[in-house]
Amino acid sequence: MPTFTPAYSRARGIFTNTTAVGISYRVAASQVAHLVPDVLELAEEPLMTSLFLSYGMSPVGSYTEYAHQVEATYKGSKFHYNLLFILDNDAAIFAGRELLGFPKVLGKSVIQEFTGTRLVTGSTERPAGRKMVEFEFVPEKLATDAPPPDRWMLNLRNIPVTSRWSAPNRSRIPSCGSGNEVR
- Name the residues annotated as catalytic: 104
* Greatest C-alpha distance within the chain: 64
Distance CA 139, CA 120 (A): 8
CA atoms of 106 and 126, how far apart (whole Å)? 7
Measure the CA–CA gap between 11 and 59, rounded to whole angstroms.
Answer: 6
The amino acid present at 121, given as its one-letter code, is T
Contact 82, 47 (CB under 8 A): no
Identify the CA nearest to 111 among candidates 101, 120, 102, 98: 120
Nearest to 9 by CA among 86, 82, 61: 61
Say which amino acid occupies 59: P
Q: Are 18 and 53 in contact (CB under 8 A)?
A: yes
Other Cβ atoms less than 10 A from the Cβ of 46: the count is: 23
